């Protein structure tokens, strides 16, 4: 096994999140020391060891207070052995997708974190629930409403807790957006505008309907959709309209949208104007009310946001890992036997909104009622 380069990669990832880099030996020492000193951390099993799990969730779980990796599900036995060594769990706790059901017998695994491509979320959430494990599922919850309903029902039937990996609920700037919506300091928000986009340069599963369920709306637009629902104090829109933009690279985006712009009409009078694309860069949100506004720049980045309100710039202590906060919060939900505020129902709600947006785009921008 080629351990040193991968451990170095883990160290690089720590630097990526703004933490002091440490040497490979130091990481090994830290892993060993922490695992022994805090045996009561809840055990997490990551399903899908791709970019997000390895580059972002690994350094985040190291920063968490209540969480540790005690197992993985992967298609690569080499990755499984590497993770087992790095986190000091037995190699028998590295499962394949075919043997995932066996986590039911693993007492060290409390929580399963599903980090596979979108279209696989449903079957992996159901497998985790059937194994009696609490589940966090990455966004989007699934790729369609019926799958989300099935996954939610499986978690309820198994009496396990479920949360969606909406990390912006653990971002202090979005905390402020939600506080302003709740306390109405500037009055009710009337307009929320923004979006999330990046330029996709090569074909990956995110641009394939079969695995992604859609294009940038499923992957990135869902972030603004979340912000807009925060501005409406959690109440979903009553109706949407949407228009798909022209495809500048139809070879990359054969069966998904490349760009989509949409509006959201809320019962309160709030209007949302969102945009998402794989051919431009956009990363911001602004919500306006009669007596003030909030604006978040680089709104959806993992860290390094800036932003302010009509009263002045906002400053929060840094660095804060959204993902460490997210995992710790879910661990506390499990310990204290309470439901996550970032619920499976919220994941289902968002898929209903997304399906309405796609339905409107398919009908050239016709107003479509959201049945959320």
Q: What 3 state SS string does 97-140 have?
A: CCCHHHHHHCCCCCEEEECCCHHHHHHHHHHHHHCCCEEEECCC
Residues 185-224 that bind ligand NAD (CB under 6 A): 205, 211, 219
Residues 137-176 that bind ligand NAD (CB under 6 A): 138-139, 165, 167
Residue placing its CB nearer to ligand NAD in the complex, 72 or 368: 72
Residue placing its CB nearer to ligand NAD in the complex, 211 or 238: 211
- DSSP class of residue 350 equals H
Residue placing its CB nearer to ligand NAD in the complex, 33 or 75: 75
Residue placing its CB nearer to ligand NAD in the complex, 165 or 215: 165
Output the CA–CA distances (angstroms, integers) from residue 267 to 212, 223, 248, in the order listed: 31, 21, 36
Which residues, other chains included, contact 85 with Cβ-Cβ below 8 Å and sequence gap of 6+? 1, 3
For residues 305 and 290, what is the distance between their CA atoms, to the nearest angstrom? 25
- Residue with token string 């017998």: 105
Q: Which residues are designated catalytic?
A: 139, 223
Which residues, other chains included, contact 18 with Cβ-Cβ below 8 Å and sequence gap of 6+? 303, 304, 318, 319
Q: For residues 219, 321, 162 and 275, what is the CA-based torsion angle, rounded to 10 degrees?
A: -20
At residue 174, what are phi and psi to the nearest 5 degrees? -75, -30
Q: In angstroms, what is the minimal distance from the CB of 199 to ligand NAD?
A: 16
Residue placing its CB nearer to ligand NAD in the complex, 97 or 293: 97
Rule CB under 6 A: say whether 324 interacts with ligand NAD.
no
Where does this chain touch ligand NAD (CB under 6 A) — which range of 43-51, 62-70, 128-136, 262-270? 43-51
Q: In angstroms, what is the minimal distance from the CB of 206 to ligand NAD?
A: 8
Residue placing its CB nearer to ligand NAD in the complex, 120 or 334: 120
For residues 198 and 283, what is the distance between their CA atoms, to the nearest angstrom? 8
Determine which residue in the list 61, 69, 111, 115 makes contact with ligand NAD, applying CB under 6 A: 115
From the list 230, 309, 232, the residue with the least C-alpha distance to 271 is 232
From the list 141, 148, 149, the residue with the least C-alpha distance to 165 is 141
How many residues are given for the chain? 372
Rule CB under 6 A: say whether 118 interacts with ligand NAD.
yes
For residues 232 and 266, what is the distance between their CA atoms, to the nearest angstrom? 7
Which structure tokens are listed for 277? Answer: 């694309």
Rule CB under 6 A: say whether 325 interacts with ligand NAD.
no
Q: In angstroms, what is the minimal distance from the CB of 108 to ligand NAD?
A: 22
Determine which residue in the list 1, 51, 234, 369 makes contact with ligand NAD, applying CB under 6 A: 51
At residue 238, what are phi and psi to the nearest 5 degrees? -85, -25
Q: In angstroms, what is the minimal distance from the CB of 107 to ligand NAD?
A: 26
Residue placing its CB nearer to ligand NAD in the complex, 18 or 50: 50
Cα angle: 136, vertex 142, 148; to 5 degrees? 90
Rule CB under 6 A: say whether 6 interacts with ligand NAD.
no
**Strand, helix or coil for residue 282:** strand
Determine which residue in the list 9, 24, 52, 271 makes contact with ligand NAD, applying CB under 6 A: 52
Where does this chain touch ligand NAD (CB under 6 A) — which range of 113-121, 128-136, 169-177, 240-248? 113-121
Determine which residue in the list 17, 28, 48, 197 makes contact with ligand NAD, applying CB under 6 A: 48
Rule CB under 6 A: say whether 78 interacts with ligand NAD.
no
Footprint of ligand NAD (CB under 6 A) = 48-53, 75, 115-118, 120, 138-139, 165, 167, 205, 211, 219
């Amino acid at each position: 096994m080629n351990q040193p380069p991968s451990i170095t990669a883990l160290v690089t990832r720590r630097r990526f999140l703004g933490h002091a880099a440490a040497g490979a030996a130091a990481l090994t020492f830290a892993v060993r020391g922490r695992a022994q000193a805090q045996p009561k951390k809840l055990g997490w099993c990551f399903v899908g060891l791709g970019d997000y799990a390895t580059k972002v969730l690994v350094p985040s779980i190291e920063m968490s207070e209540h969480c540790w990796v005690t197992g993985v599900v992967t298609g690569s036995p080499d990755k499984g052995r590497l993770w087992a060594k790095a986190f000091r769990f037995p190699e028998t706790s590295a499962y394949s997708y075919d043997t995932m059901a066996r986590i039911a017998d693993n007492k060290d695994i409390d929580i399963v974190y599903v980090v596979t491509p979108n279209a696989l979320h449903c079957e992996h959430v159901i497998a985790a629930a059937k194994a009696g494990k609490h589940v966090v599922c990455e966004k989007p919850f699934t790729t369609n409403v019926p799958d989300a309903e099935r996954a939610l029902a499986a978690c309820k039937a198994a009496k396990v807790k479920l949360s969606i990996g909406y990390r912006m609920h653990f971002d202090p700037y979005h905390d402020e957006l939600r506080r302003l919506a709740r306390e109405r300091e500037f009055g009710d928000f009337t307009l929320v505008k923004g979006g999330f986009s990046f330029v996709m340069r090569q074909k990956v599963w995110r641009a394939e309907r079969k695995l992604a369920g859609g294009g940038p709306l499923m992957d990135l637009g869902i972030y603004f959709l979340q912000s807009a629902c925060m501005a409406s104090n959690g109440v979903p829109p009553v109706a949407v309209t949407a228009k798909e933009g022209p495809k500048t690279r139809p070879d990359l985006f054969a069966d998904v949208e490349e760009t989509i712009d949409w509006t959201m009409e809320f019962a309160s009078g709030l209007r949302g104007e969102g945009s998402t694309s794989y051919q431009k860069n956009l990363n911001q949100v602004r919500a306006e009310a009669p007596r003030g506004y909030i604006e978040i720049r680089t709104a959806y980045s993992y860290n390094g946001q800036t932003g302010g309100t009509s009263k002045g710039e906002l400053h929060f202590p840094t660095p804060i890992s959204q993902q460490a906060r997210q995992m710790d919060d879910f661990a506390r939900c499990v310990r204290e036997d309470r439901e996550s505020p970032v619920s499976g129902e919220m994941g289902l709600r968002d898929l209903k909104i997304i399906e309405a947006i796609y339905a409107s785009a398919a009908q050239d921008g016709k107003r479509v009622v959201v049945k959320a």
